[in-house]
Structures are given as structure tokens and as C-alpha cells.
Chain A
């Protein structure tokens, strides 16, 4: 089945220690998104890639970076995690030109704990 996969599902890192979260998709969608979701809050968009074109949200801290080496993979790098970065990180994809352009499909998420 076509899907969005995130690894790891749970990640524990130390304060200030860089961490990378990964996302892969078999949907062949050209847009990939990274969201941060804290408890009882709506998902907050950090950035997205339209093909190779990176689009950062104005309020995303510089501490958060992303890479998309190819259509299938996208990475979220947190350079110096703080306690406030503990959250669920959700990867999503959408396929423009598929007729269902704005429908986003989410991976299972990576729950990040910062100690």
C-alpha cells in the first residue's frame, strides 16, 4: 500500500544534541510537509517542499532545518533541541496535479522527547 513512513517513531535526545527525523513516501507526491504538534494543539506547519523548492514558515525558528534529497525522502534536522521542542513531528505529503491537490496524507509521526 502506498504510504508515508516516519522513522523513528519515538526519539529521545539530550538538550542541545542535534537530532534528525526522517520521512519517506511511496505516494510519489511532489509536496512534502513537516508539522510540529504539541499536546492538545493543532498541527503547526514548519516548512514544506514543492518538488525541490523549499518554503519556510516565517515563524519557524532557525534551529529547524530540512533536506529533501529526492522525491521520496525528506529530513527534519533540529540543530540544538530545547525542552520546548518536545512534541510530535508529523510529515505529510500532497500531490499537485492529481485532482486532489490539497489533500494531505500524514505519516504516523515521531514523538520527540528532550531530556
Chain B
């Protein structure tokens, strides 16, 4: 299994829809997980951190399933401005946990 694997995408959804992305990881010892958002030709920006079973911030909910080793990101009431690539990120399984492994990203386009 790859260290981090994400839904291939792309996802094209209408404004107002609910969309969910899944991500699986191989490092069973990971204690922290992240979702980053990256706009075209810009830097990744931290969207959510997950240190326990999940996290919620407004329209965004991240859930962690340790038994199955997957993390999901749910976006409710999608806005046009949510269009971006979403990167699932977990600490590396070898070396220092401060080294992160980035998934290849899932592209989301919210359509008017």
C-alpha cells in the first residue's frame, strides 16, 4: 500500500452540493493527519488538522477511522471558492514524524 492514497478525482459538483473525499494511509502509528488546500499555481494551505477521531470547522468535517486507516474530508454546501486541489497529508512512516507525506491530491471544481 502507498503511504498515502487519495480518491483520483476530479470531482465536479454543483454549488450547494455536499462532497466527500477519502484518503487511505499505511502508517498505522500516525497520530496526526492533515488536509491541505492548494489553489492553482499557489502554495498549499493548511485546511484542517486531525489529532483524534475527527474535526469540524464550519462547512468542513474531517473524520478519522484508525481501524481502517482512512481519513475523509466532507464539504457541505459547496461554494465556488471551494474549487481547488485537496491534499491528504500524514507523517512519514520512517524517519522523523516531522517529515510529511503528501497525497497526490483530489481536484474539486464547484460549478455555478
Contact = CB atoms under 8 A, between A and B. Distances in A.
A55 interface: yes
B97 interface: yes
B99 A43 contact: no
Contact of B98 (A41, A48, A107, A109): A48
Contacts of A106: 43-45
A42 B91 CA distance: 14
Contact of A104 (B41, B42, B96, B100): B100
Interface residues of B, number: 20
Given A102-B97, A105-B46, A109-B42, A43 B102 contact: yes
B42 A108 contact: yes
* A43, A45, A102, A108: residue with the most chain B Cβ atoms closer than 10 Å: A102
Contact of A103 (B43, B49, B96, B97): B49
A26 interface: no
B34 interface: yes
Interface of B is mostly: loop
Name the residue among B43, B87, B99 with the largest chain A CB count within 10 angstroms: B43
Contacts of A31: 98
B104 A102 contact: no
A73 interface: no
Given A103-B46, A103-B49, A109-B42, 13 more contacts: A31-B98, A48-B99, A55-B96, A88-B41, A94-B98, A96-B98, A100-B49, A102-B91, A102-B100, A103-B34, A104-B46, A108-B42, A108-B43
* Those 6 A-B pairs whose CB atoms lie nearest each other, nearest first: A42-B102, A106-B43, A109-B43, A102-B32, A42-B104, A43-B102
Interface of A: 31, 41-43, 45, 48, 50, 55, 88, 90, 94, 96, 100-109, 111
10 contacts: A42-B87, A45-B99, A90-B43, A90-B44, A100-B49, A102-B91, A103-B46, A104-B46, A109-B43, A111-B41
